[in-house]
Every structure is written in C-alpha cells, then in structure tokens.
Amino acid sequence: MSEVVVPRLAGADRAVSRPRADWLFRFGCLIVMLSLVLMVIGPWIAPYDVGRPTDFILEPPPALRDVPRLLWLSITNAPREPVYWFGTDSAGLDIFSRVIAAPRADVAIALGANLVSLTLGSLLGLAAGVARPWIGALIMRTSDLVQAFPVFITGMILVTLAGRSIGTIILTLALLYTPIYVRLTRSEVLTQRQRGFVDAARALGRREAWIALTHVLPNAMAPALIQFSVTIGFAILMTAGLSFVGAGVRPPTPEWGLMIAAGADQIVQGEWWPSLFPGLAISITVFGYAAFGNGLERRHAA
C-alpha cells in the first residue's frame, strides 16, 4: 500500500491538555474505585459500631503531631487507648467509622439510581431514535416534561411523600435523571443511524431490530456512559442534600449529609470536626467522579 496515512490533526485544546487530563483522570479512577470498595466493605471495616455511642461526646480528633505515633501503634496492633481519628459527634458516635460506612448509603443510592436511569434512558432513547415518529415524539415530550420540574424540590417532595427509604430515593433520582440519558442517547442514535455502516448492514439483509441493537446502540452509548460518571457525582450531592434538609434517609443511618446536618450547630460554636470530615468525603468523592468523567470525555474525543 503506497497510500499516505492522513494524520488526524488533534484540536489545539486536546493536544496541549493531555498531561493534565491524565493526572486528573488517575485521581478520578482512584476515588471511584475507593468509593466502590467502601460501598461494599465500608461498614465491615469500620473500627467502631456506627450505631452505638462511645463514652466520649464531641471528642476532638487527635492533634496532627500525634497522628504518626497513633498510626504506628494501630498498624503494629500495639495496646493503646481508643483513637477516634475524626473525633466523635454530639451523640458520641465515632465519626471516622460513620464516614467510611456512609458509601453504603450515598454511593449505593447514586449508583443504583443511575444504573436504573441509564438502562431505562438508553433503551427509551434508542426507541425514540429508531421507532415510529409518534413513539419518539411521545418519549421526548414526556422527558421534556420531567425535565421541566425543579430537580431538588421535586426530589424532596417525592421522597418525603413516598416514605424516605433508600428504595424511594433510588427510584426518585432514577426518574429525575432518566431524561438526561434519553436525550443523550437519542441524539447520538439519530447521528449513528445515518451512518454508512447501518445502511451497509441493511444492504446485507439484516433486520432493523438487529441493526439497532448491534450497530446503533453500542455506538450511541458513549455520551451516556460519560454522563454516567458525572451524574453519579450529582446524585451523591443530591442524596446528601436531601438528608441535610431533612427530606432524605432517616437518622441514624450513617450518611454524609445527615452527619453534616448533625454537626451544623456545633460549627457555629467552633467545633468543626463533626461536619468537616463527612463534607470532605463528599467533596473528594464527587470531585473524583467529575474528574473521572472528564477524563473519559477527553479520551473519547481524542
């Protein structure tokens, strides 16, 4: 073959920002993995019972200069006085244990809700893109309507009136996020089904449904999958926000938003730790998911 391989000119943006993207992307991968691991094993590896108060109320975390010594002691399993790495809250519960146990609520809800809405949304999006026009119009108008609702307030109403359980939160968030996936998948399906390989498959005598599922859908999933990571982050924010205003999971479930709310009164009095650590956990987790999604997007575009 004597053809000249045409080099693809990367856009200016992409070409120069690759190193930074990788650094952020690695951070995102790390956080995403950590959060998933804690979702599974968090409550089991927590050093203290997340529901039973200790004898110390509002015990501050150990001073920074003591941390290396205490770490060493705990790694070597040496006998020592009990350590509350993040202190204890006003009920005497160990904050560290609760922070690492909380992904069982926050991450599980966010992941569950997004899995439901991703599945539902991409199938509806595919249907909206390939089915008869009136079915497509019906799906799109319905998802327009859902998207017109103010997300947070609607979430608050549905969750509260349906009973504030983890299941209702998952379903509520799934309902609110489904239109995002419908929209993304549909617009990509509309692009993909115009492509030559779809007509080529038709020319080879393939059935429409087969083409939609093997050629169109797999090629149309990328935007939804990128969005998946970012939306999990938003779902964590929303789960925590709902319980922060008292419209989410019920106490005493270990959950970051509830913990921040419980510590809100102390912070005004200068006792910062009950709110600081769960908030830090949210901050890092959601940023991690955003960074992961951003990295995926760049990789996909490149």
Partner 1 sequence: MQPEAAPPALLSVRDLTVAYGGRTAVQAVNLDIAPGEIVGLTGDSGSGKSTLGLALLGLARPPGRILAGEVRLSGADLLTLSEPQRRSLRGREVGLIVQNPRASLSPLHMIGEQIGAVLKAHLPLDGAAADARAVDLLRNLGLNDPERRAKAYPHEISGGMAQRVLIAMALGAGPRLLVADEPTSGLDVTIQAQFLDELWKTARDVGSAVLLMTQDLGIIANYCDRVLVMQDGAIVADDVTKRFFAAPRDVYSRTLLSLERVAPPVAPGDAAIVLEARGLSKSFRLRDGRKVLQAVDHADFVIGRGETLGLVGESGSGKTTVGRCLLRLIEPDAGEVLFEGRDMGRATPAELRRLRKRIQIVFQDPLDALDPRWTIRDIINEALERPDAARVSELLGFVGLDPAVAKLKPRALSAGAQQRVSIARAIAAEPALIVLDEPTSALTPLARVEIVRLLRDLQARLGSSYLFISHDLSTVEHLSHNVAVMYLGQIVEIGTREQIFRSPRHPYAKALLAAHLAPDPSRRRVDRIEDAKLAGEIPSPIDLPRGCYLAGRCPEAVASCRTQLQPLRTLRDGRQIRCTPVAERDGAKTDPVAA
Partner 2 sequence: MVRFITTRLATTIIQLAGLALVVFFAIRALPADPVARLVGLNASRDAYLSSQKSLGLDRPVLEQLGAYLGIIPGSSGLLQGDLGRSWVTGSPVAEEIARVLPITLELITVSFVIAFLISVPLGMLCGLRPGGVADRITFGYSLFAGSQPEFWWALLFIFVFFAQLGWAPPPLGRLNPMSSPPPFVTGFITMDSLLAGNMAAFKDGVHHLMLPVLTKVFVLSGPIVKMVRQNMVRALASDYVLYARGSGLWPARIAAIALKNALAPALTLLGVLYGYILGSAVLIETVFSLGGIGQYAVRSVLAFDYPAIQAVVLVIAAISLFVYLALDVAHALLDPRIVS
17 binds, among partner 2, partner 1, none (CB under 5 to 8 A by kind): partner 2
Q: Smallest distance, Å, CB 147 to partner 1? A: 23
For residue 163, give Cα distances in angstroms to 26, 107, 170, 243.
39, 20, 12, 13
Query: Under the criterion CB under 8 A, does residue 131 sit at the interface with partner 2?
Result: no
Sign of the C-alpha dihedral computed for residues 176, 152, 142 and 186 taken in this order: negative
Which of 126, 198, 286, 296: binder of partner 2 (CB under 8 A)? 286
Which of 149, 190, 208, 299: binder of partner 2 (CB under 8 A)? 149
In angstroms, the CA 34 to CA 42 distance is 10
The alpha carbon torsion through 235, 239, 244, 246 (nearest 10 deg) reads 140
Query: Under the criterion CB under 8 A, does residue 60 sit at the interface with partner 2?
Result: no
Q: Smallest distance, Å, CB 211 to partner 1? A: 10
In angstroms, the CA 222 to CA 297 distance is 9
Compose the 90-119 pattern: x for residues touching partner 2 by CB under 8 A, - for all others: ------------------------------
Q: Which is nearer to partner 1, 10 or 153 (CB)?
A: 10
And the tokens for 177? 């996020």
CA-nearest of 142, 131, 168 to 243 is 168
DSSP β-bridge partners for residue 88: 94
197 binds, among partner 1, partner 2, none (CB under 5 to 8 A by kind): partner 1
In angstroms, the CA 19 to CA 193 distance is 34
Query: Under the criterion CB under 8 A, does residue 151 sit at the interface with partner 2?
Result: yes
For residue 284, give Cα distances in angstroms to 34, 115, 237, 277, 279.
11, 22, 11, 11, 9
Binding site for partner 1 (CB under 8 A): 1-7, 9, 12, 15-16, 195-197, 199-207, 215, 218-219
Question: Using CB under 8 A as the criterion, which residues of the chain lie in contact with partner 2 when the complex forms?
Answer: 11-13, 16-17, 20, 24, 144-145, 148-154, 156-158, 160-163, 233-234, 237, 240-241, 244-247, 257, 260, 263-264, 267-270, 272, 275-276, 278-279, 282-283, 286-287, 289-291, 294
